Amino acid sequence: MLYIKKFKRSVTSSVALALMLALPTAFEVPKAHAQQSRDLPEIGTTGAGFMSIEREQVVGDYYMRQLRASAPIIQDPVLNSYLKDVGQRLVRNADNVRYPFNFFWLNINEINAFAFMGGYVGVHTGLIQQARNESELAAVLGHEIAHVTQRHIVRSMQEQQRNMPLTIAGVIGSILLGIANPEAGAAGLYTTLGATGQAQINYTRLFEQEADRIGITTLANAGFDPMGAPNFFGRLADQYRYVSKPPEMLLTHPVPEARISDTRTRAEAIGRRDVPQSLEFELAKARIDARYTRSSPNSDFVKLTQSASVIDQQAGGYALAIRALDANDPTTAQKWLNPLIARNPRNRFYIDVQTDIYLAQDEGEKALNMLQQEYIRSPDDPVILLNYANAAIQSNNAELGVKLLRNYLLSEPDSVTAMDLLTDAYERTADRAAMYETRAEALALRGRFDLAIDQLQTAQNHTQNKLTEKRLNARIDQLRAEKERLKRLL
């Protein structure tokens, strides 16, 4: 379906890097069951005296709002659903989970990922391009989840309790500066962190080892191959051993031979697992390559369609369909998609592209009929619902789009994609008050509280309904209070 990119990459990766450096987390590799109970500290109250779980969530929410406003986050329902599925599979098998986790992609063609307070885990598109299978991708996610569940950020802040108030203020200032001037923001960040960085090194190494051990156990418990961890990190270290500029991940989180060896020993102690090749992993990887990183020529995808592997064949054809669609050639896109749809007509990746092909060919009714049937079967599937809503809006049935999106936002209130679509739907129905109100909520999700309040005040000028006016006034008060609360907190 649509892949909304309202905030283009004007900031580069400095904002994401700021978060990674300011809130020490990273890639590592996990631990085996036999060692876990005696190697890990008592987690229950670790860091509790310094920062409560509730405050941690608020700080995480603040950072996420800043990222939505400035970083190249991909608003792609298909990719987001896939990443969420893999991430939540790991979370269900992790210990000490204190709040919901949120996983998101950044369109940065570098090998990296990061986690921060509140259960937010970001993955660069360049990382999945490097991963050879789903277990390798899951190994990185499991490691990042361990950083969060073990409260490594809070424990690091607790270790630096005297200096941290100044450091937090400096980091936030650098992030905001980076929005307008990436180079100046990065320089300010390095200056801010320089004074405290060296003191963290030994403490952070302990966190990396702990996340390695816990992450590998979570990986195995979730049904992935535990060898995904040493295979990925070992190959990465070998590949960039002699280059002058290794990936950011290896710069900020080096993987020495001893650590790789320890990880491999732990994975082998748990036992290798023969995990079948994942079609969804290959399709996600192909989608990112074809549409976002654009790192492979079409000829590479043609070769995939000629592979002995049926899954590779599908991934190649899927990528070629996307490339043709994005080149405004829906006829060729349909040619590549036809055998895929015939093989698996209910695959979300295929339905998404089929929807866009129909819309590009002005066949909105075909799209609506297809999606209506899928929605009846899977009313809670975000890919189906958001495609259905988008097709309705594009086919001059904005009222249906409004109904679908309002129901979806009841359970997913932080969906920027849904908010942006709903704003469009209200504009088409000429409901100006609702349009401005929804736009305000989308701005609030991006931390733009002042602009959100302006939109709500504009919405008040477009309604004569007293109850609506009272509701809008109450929301304005809430946003003002939220803005002040974050100022006091940070």
Residues in the annotated binding site: 143, 147, 208
Annotated catalytic, 54? no
Q: What are phi and psi of 113, to 5 degrees?
A: -160, 165
The residue from 61, 110, 210, 212 that is catalytic is 212
Instruction: Say which amino acid occupies 267.
Output: A
The residue from 61, 136, 144, 424 that is catalytic is 144
Q: Please, are residues 73 and 259 in contact by the beta-carbon 8 Å criterion?
A: no
Q: Please, are residues 114 and 20 in contact by the beta-carbon 8 Å criterion?
A: yes
Give the number of other Cβ atoms within 10 Å of residue 457's Cβ: 14
Instruction: Indicate the length of the chain as a whole number.
Output: 490
Cβ-count burial 115-134 (b if 16+ within 10 Å, e if not) = bbbbbbbbbbbbbbbbbebb
Q: Is the Cα torsion angle 262, 268, 269, 270 positive or negative in sign? A: positive
Q: Which two tokens stand for residue 246?
A: 């290794």
Annotated catalytic, 183? no
Q: Please, are residues 359 and 347 in contact by the beta-carbon 8 Å criterion?
A: no
Instruction: Tell me the binding residues for Zn(2+).
Output: 143, 147, 208
Catalytic residue IDs: 144, 212
